[in-house]
Structure 1
Amino acid sequence: MADGGTQAGYLGVSRSLTGRPWRARPADPELVRRHQMGLGLSEPLARALASRGVAAEMGETYLNPTLRALFPDPSSFTDMDRAAAILVDAVVRDRRMVVFADYDVDGASSAAQLVRWMRAMGKDLPIYVPDRITEGYGPSPAAFRRLREEGAELVVTVDCGAAAYEAIAAAVEVGLEVVVIDHHLMRGDELPAAAALVNPNRPDDTSGQGMLAAAGVTFVLLAALNREARRQGLFDGRQEPDLREWLDLAAMGAICDVTELVGFNRALTTQGLKMMSNWRNPGLKALLEVAKSQGPATVFHAGFILGPRINAGGRIGRSDLGARLLSTDDPAEAQALAAELDELNANRKEVEREVLEAAVRVIERESNMADAPMILVAADGWHPGVIGIVAGRLRERYRKPVMVVGVDRAANIGKGSGRSQPGVDLGRAVQAAYEAGLLLAGGGHAMAAGLSVRPDVIPELRAFLCEHMAAEAEIAAEADALEIDALVTTAACDRGLYAGFQRMAPFGPGNPEPMFACADVRVERAMALKGGHVRVTLTDASGGKLKAVAWRCEDTEIGKRLLQEGGGLHIAGRLKPDDWQGRQSVELEIEDVADLRRQIS
């Protein structure tokens, strides 16, 4: 292995086929040496740790993260002790409670944890999940009034509620107590009138756990609940709930909500995947079976096999299906729910494909918006349950912020969902558009946002967002480089290399999966696959042959060049296991390609 660096870019790549320069992921040489000596690591692996900001004294904890070493004091979260006291008191007094969850994986896994803890305490906790189409995101005054009319005395919101000022005010008016468990960013110092609001991202919280998903915050809440129940003597003659049984749910939320896998969140995810690998949760086990998958749980299982199916209910089906699946102990019910979600997910894929193809046609054939600082693409009838996914796909393709708007002409409203590039605050731009009077509603955070707009205002909104985001987008485009961890030959890409770097798993934001580069390779046996994927075999001077695949790229510059075959390419990607028919090999998942003929000397 070599560093491959040059002044023009890593391997001389100043502009790849995605328009990016390549560079070596920066690492302090002294820290690299200390990781090598202290942990007995190879130089490339030690450099990878150093480049991710792992201090010398944290190397062992990083490679072997444990809850014992990293679990925070629940009391460090503002309002955590108050929330625990309210909920345990509700158990003692047998108050009627409801958990109000968001319709995604994080909301479902948070709700399921609370349901399971309450079940262990002999309490039934009903679940309420708003419908994405008819109710939108989060609590509403109407929903809270309905729950109160049905007899609820206490509502616990999970993965929502931190900004539900109007809804919580309405709850207070009708005598409904609300406890909020959330993680979303909050603007300003004003708080809703909840009885307790636990959110590591509230302005006055000092826990330092702002990277947690709601499922992680909920897991800490369970520890606080156990502590409070123990203090009140509720476990005299009753077995204390073993929270480790629900680590798999906490990990699902952390992975599927794309949170930073650092510190306690990394330990939670690592240990949660180990627990998930037992497949004791009937819902997760049923989903795994219906997806025809197997093996120990990985980030891939959670994020790409289980997560999309759980989300499918909230996107194009019944919004409570995911939470019901994760909270049931009935294998027959789990199998029925998993089958329904699997079918909904297949339908979601088809709807998503149609919207994505239509959006690409609009961008590339009917306008010049691909050259703008950000892309806002809109059309009639696009399903609001998939526009967020499509925005993410378009952001990957065009490497700039994207907002996708589906227009309902009958209601005279457009619902939009956006995804951004690092360095461009989409949420702030949407908030500015709302304050300028261009939106009916809007909000979000730096990397994702949603909005509602009148269709006739969309051209003006597009111009406003482009102007508002132009400076940030220009800086972000210049900083948008592909960072390489190691230069390898095709012969060196084997299971040993893969296994060595897997010691750094789980991967995600804050701990990016290692990126490998192969220099001056030749492409052979190129084949276009269903879905727009391209599969190839790579060879180089080492004599090795490496199977590789590039996802959803057939009609892109990368796909077109791979299908031409031939040599003169540098290729970067991530190593993945290839266990087909027991071969215990690896393949390269291609991230980027550089054509040597296009590089500027």
Structure 2
Amino acid sequence: MADGAPPRPDAAFLGVERSLSGRAWRRRDPDPAEVRALVQGHGLSEPLARVLAARGVAAAGAVAFLSPTLRESFPDPSSFLDMDAAAAAILDAHATGASIHLFADYDVDGAASAALLVRWFRALGREVPVYVPDRLTEGYGPSVPAFDRLKAAGAELVITVDCGAAANAAVAHAAAIGIKVVVIDHHLMREDPPACAAVVNPNRPGCGSGQGNLAAAGVVFVLLAALNREGRRRGLFADRPEPDLRQWLDLAALGAICDVTALTGFNRTLTRLGLGMLGQWRTPGLKALMEVAGGLPDTVAASHVGFALGPRINAAGRIGRADLGARLLSTDDPAEAAALAQQLDQLNRERREVEAAVAEAAMAQVEARGGVDSRSVILVAGEGWHAGVVGVVAGRLRERWRKPVIVAGVDPVAGVARGSGRSQSGVNLGGAVQAAWEAGLLLAGGGHAMACGLTAALDALPALEAFLDARLAGQQAEARQADTVDIDVLVEPAAATRALLDSFNAMQPFGPGNPEPLFAFSGVTARDPALMNGGHVRCRLTAPDGSALRAVGWRLADQPGGEALLSGAGGLAVAGRLKPDDWNGRRGVQLEIEDVHDPRRA
């Protein structure tokens, strides 16, 4: 371990003021006294204690962070605006035998949210149908035609999950045709909520829950607690067991991870405990999907959800039947789960092919236009770009250019562009899109800080881009200054062992709000570099003493860092995340490269 006293917080770590990706390196600088207290009071290793202290985990709060419990962190459901009204409206409908239907978004969070409610009602002996709109023909969220279909199906109460907070007109139509609506959402919303029985959203103006980082599945999980509480008050469980919510923690974790929410506070507890429940593989759909994705891991991490389960569930809403994800997560039939998992796996393969073509065209458009450095947001649009993959492509472009990106598919017949955006940390893209809607530049739009969806007239795109560029200029400038590579630990390749990696598992789950530790290696040479399909780069990072570490840089080949690795350059500084390398039972580690610095090209 080569990890001495930390430099000043504003000093460039290892002298890296501008890496090959254009970022400065900084070292996280914990309070030495807190590090000692964590080591001495909790028996933690010095590297782990250092990383925890740098993230603000004090010795007094270490147990709550390392061993969180629902009892300690669960919020009072009544702290959510309209939560009690929502529980009452739902149980009133259940008591009178009214026809209850769910309306869910077509992504993972929507599917998980719907499955939570389906399973809660099933525990009461009732099956509740789920309506999921088609992304291409219906678009996002509730609509007038959708409510007309639900009315024709006999719906008397509709619970929207992961959508509905901005659907004022559609919800008003539902009321006009005699449908009661309860909205459960987490997206940014306007001051005036839809007029309905209840609107539960921790990001609703006036909500005092303090749980704005929850995904919709997390909000639904709290709703289930409110339903249990109200059900007890009404004697609903006098002749049947009260549903045990802990059995569905895996679904709450699924929504939190796949919607890229901040894993802090109660949301982190849900996710941590949910991953533990997921590892028991009690939900047939999740077990079947993981089996087709490569087999059941010994220990489930957030990465298994984000990179194996999530994309396959999302594939249904992107290029297949929108309701497949909700059906997979709701079924208790292993045979049905296996069949649905196979469908989703095939759809995911097709999605990857479509995504690659759109990504290539979108990147070419960005590069042809030029001027990326002077813009605070990138907006590209193309005819024939599949609406189901534009969000994923926006995320890839955001990773490359490190600023908010909106990618839109053009419908020349209708004269509109429908797009999805992904943002950079510190830049509230959803808020800017909301402002654009209020300014009359959008036909529809909404989202949250890190993601958005929108529909605009084709002739409005230039004005929209100019508006967003001006609106986000200040935030993007600040975000660029803050866009550093924050190093946790400096190590030698010989010290990057499986034991070191395993010691950091206590910090999981990793994600926004609890980033995975970044390890730095100095003075290494890229040996045996190889270009892989997909633009990935593999090599061995070799130290002067001959010790080496396997490393991979995803989609790095055509960027300066990848070029340096492929050239076999020496004297490099490399930062990345240690990952298990269990190929052929070796139980080793490899580095997933985040950034590369070449002092000769500084």
Calculate the TM-score normalised by the size of structure 1.
0.96
Residues matched between the structures, number: 598
Using the alignment, how far apart are the partners of 2:148 and 2:423 within structure 1? Answer: 36
Q: 2: distance between equivalents of 1:300 and 1:255?
A: 9
Distance 2:598 2:222 in 1: 49
Letter of the structure 2 residue corresponding to residue 290 of structure 1 = V
Instruction: Describe the superposition over 1:375-423 as per-residue Cα deviations: whole angstroms up to 9, x where unpaired.
Output: 1112211111111111110010011111112111122111121112122
User: The residue matched to 2:445 in structure 1 has which SS?
Assistant: strand
Aligned to 1:171: 174
Residue aligning to 2:270: 268
Q: Give the Cα–Cα distance (whole angstroms) in 1 for the partners of residues 228 and 329 of structure 2.
A: 21
Moved more, 527-536 or 372-381: 372-381
Tell me the equivalent position of 2:382: 379
Q: Indicate conservation of the 8 Å contact 2:141/2:164, yes or no.
A: yes
One-letter code aligned to 2:257: I
The answer to whether the aligner puts 1:455 opposite 2:432 as a matched pair is no
Q: Deviations over 1:36-62 (max 9, x none)?
A: 232222232112112212233211110
Aligned mate of 1:207, from 209, 228, 233? 209
Deviation (angstroms), 1:369: 3.7
For residue 32 of structure 1, what is the aligned residue in structure 2? 35
Give, in angstroms, the shift of residue 279 of structure 1: 1.1
Which residue is equivalent to 1:304? 307
C-alpha separation in 1, matches of 2:154 and 2:53: 55
Give the CA deviation at 1:8. 5.0
CA deviation map 1:145-199 (0-9, x unaligned): 22123211101111111222111111111111111111112232x2211212222
Which letter maps to 1:198? V
1:542 is displaced (CA, Å) by 4.4
CA distance in 2, matches of 1:174, 1:33: 65
State the AA in 2 paired with 1:206: G
Equivalent in the alignment of 1:233: 235
Stretches of structure 1 that go unaligned for 5 or more consecutive residues are none
Deviations 1:534-588 (CA, angstroms, capped at 9, x unpaired): 1110111343210010001111111111100131100000000111111111100
Does the C-alpha gap of structure 1 residues 221 and 461 become closer, same or farther in structure 2, counting only changes over 3 Å? closer
Name the SS of the counterpart of 2:313 in structure 1.
helix
1:459 to 1:209, Cα distance in 2 relative to 1, 3 A: closer
Aligned to 1:42: 45
Counterpart Cα distance in 2 of 1:500 and 1:469: 40
The answer as to 2:116 corresponding to 1:113 is: yes
Assess if the C-alpha contact under 8 Å between 1:490 and 1:543 holds in 2.
Answer: no
1:343: which partner in 2? Answer: 346
Indicate if the aligned counterparts of 2:38 and 2:59 stay in contact, CA closer than 8 A.
yes
State how far apart, in whole Å, the 2-side matches of 1:392 and 1:309 are: 17
Of 390-399 and 216-225, deviating more is 216-225
Alpha-carbon separation, structure 1, partners of 2:474 and 2:156:
50
1:57 is matched with 60
Partner residue of 1:219? 221
- Residue 81 of structure 1 corresponds to which residue in structure 2? 84
Q: Which of the numbers 93, 96, 100 marks the counterpart of 2:96?
A: 93
Deviation readout 1:327-354 (Å, 9 max, x if unpaired): 0111121111111111111111111111
Pick the aligned partner of 2:135 from 129, 132, 135: 132
| Residue type of the alignment partner of 1:461 | L
CA distance, structure 2, for counterparts of residue 536 and residue 260 of structure 1: 33
Q: 1:495-517: CA deviations, max 9, x gaps?
A: 11101111111101110000000
Q: What is the SS of the residue equivalent to 1:491?
A: helix
Q: Secondary structure at the match of 1:147?
A: helix
- Between the aligned partners of 2:373 and 2:319, the Cα distance in structure 1 is 29
Work out the CA distance in 2 between the residues paired with 1:574 and 1:210.
28
595 and 8 in structure 1: CA distance in 2 versus 1, 3 angstrom threshold = farther
Whether the aligned pair in 1 keeps the contact of 2:162 and 2:216 (CA below 8 Å) is yes
Q: Which deviates more from structure 2 when the two are superposed, residues 369-378 or residues 105-114? A: 369-378
1:197 equivalent to 2:196? Answer no
> SS of 1:566's equivalent?
coil
> d(CA) in 2 for partners of 1:344 and 1:447?
26
Q: Secondary structure of the residue that 1:509 maps to in structure 2?
A: coil
> Where does the alignment leave 5 or more consecutive residues of structure 2 unmatched?
none
> What is the alpha-carbon distance in structure 1 between the residues aligned to residue 511 and residue 181 of structure 2?
33
Q: Is the 8 A contact 1:490 1:542 kept in 2?
A: no
The equivalent residue for 1:2 is 3
Of the three residues 554, 560, 563, the one matched with 1:557 is 560
Which residue number corresponds to residue 489 of structure 2? 486
Please report how far the alpha carbon of residue 32 of structure 1 lies from its aligned counterpart in structure 2 after TM superposition: 2.5
Indicate if the aligned counterparts of 1:52 and 1:510 stay in contact, CA closer than 8 A: no
Q: What's the counterpart of residue 317 of structure 2?
A: 314
Deviations, residues 446-474 of structure 1 (Å, cap 9, x unaligned): 22222222223323333333233223222
Which region of structure 1 is more displaced relative to structure 2, 473-482 or 306-315? 473-482
Q: Which amino acid aligns with 1:507?
A: F
Question: Which one-letter code corresponds to 2:228 in the other structure?
Answer: N
SS of match in other structure, 1:156: strand
Check the 8 A contact 1:5/1:23 in 2, yes or no: no
Question: Does 483-492 or 80-89 show the bigger shift?
Answer: 80-89
How has the CA–CA distance of structure 1 residues 299 and 31 changed in structure 2, closer, same or farther, with 3 Å as cutoff? same
State whether residues 91 and 123 of structure 1, in contact with CA within 8 Å, keep that contact through their aligned partners in structure 2: no
**Distance in 2 between the 1:172 and 1:553 partners?**
52
Change (3 A) 1:174 1:326: same
1:522 aligns with 2:525: yes
- Please give the alpha-carbon distance, in whole angstroms, between the structure 2 residues aligned to 1:183 and 1:436: 23
Q: Which residue of 2 aligns with 1:580?
A: 583
**Do 2:188 and 2:446's aligned partners in 1 also have CA atoms closer than 8 Å?**
no
CA–CA distance in structure 1, aligned partners of residues 379 and 372 of structure 2:
8
1:528 alignment partner, SS class: strand
Cross-structure match for 2:427: 424
1:210-254, CA deviations, whole angstroms, 9 ceiling, x for partnerless residues?
211111111111122222222222222322222221111111011
In the TM superposition, what is the alpha-carbon distance from 1:18 to its structure 2 partner? 0.7
Hey, what's the Cα distance between the residues in 1 that align with 2:449 and 2:268? 22
Q: Which amino acid aligns with 1:596?
A: P
Question: Residue 370 of structure 1: CA displacement?
Answer: 5.3
Residue 296 (structure 2) pairs with residue 294 (structure 1): yes
- Could you tell me which residue of structure 1 aligns to residue 254 of structure 2? 252
1:326 paired residue number = 329
Matched to 2:3, the amino acid is: A
1:476 aligns with 2:479: yes
Q: Secondary structure at the match of 1:377?
A: strand
Map 1:504-519 onto structure 2 (within 5 A): 504-519=507-522
SS in 1 for 2:571: strand
Q: Residues of 1 paired with 2:142 and 2:276: CA distance?
A: 34
The runs of at least 4 aligned residues of structure 1 exceeding 6 Å deviation read: none
Distance 2:433 2:206 in 1: 25
Instruction: Supply the distance in 2 between the matched residues of 1:205 and 1:542 (Cα, whole angstroms).
Output: 58
Q: CA–CA distance in 1 between the matches of 2:171 and 2:464?
A: 31
The answer on whether the counterparts of 1:421 and 1:447 sit within 8 Å (CA) in structure 2 is yes
Work out whether residues 257 and 305 of structure 2, in 8 Å CA contact, stay in contact via their aligned partners in 1. yes
Deviation, 1:86, is 2.1
Report what 2:158 is aligned to: 155
Distance 1:364 1:389 in 2: 19
Q: 1:489, 1:542 within 8 Å by CA — same for their partners in 2?
A: no
Amino acid in the other structure paired with 1:415 = R
Task: Look up the equivalent residue of 1:356 and give its one-letter code.
Answer: A
d(CA) in 1 for partners of 2:153, 2:284: 30
SS at match of 2:495: coil
Q: Contact 2:301/2:508 (CA < 8 Å) preserved in 1? A: no
CA distance 1:79–1:432, shift in 2 (3 Å):
closer
What's the CA shift for 1:320?
Answer: 0.7
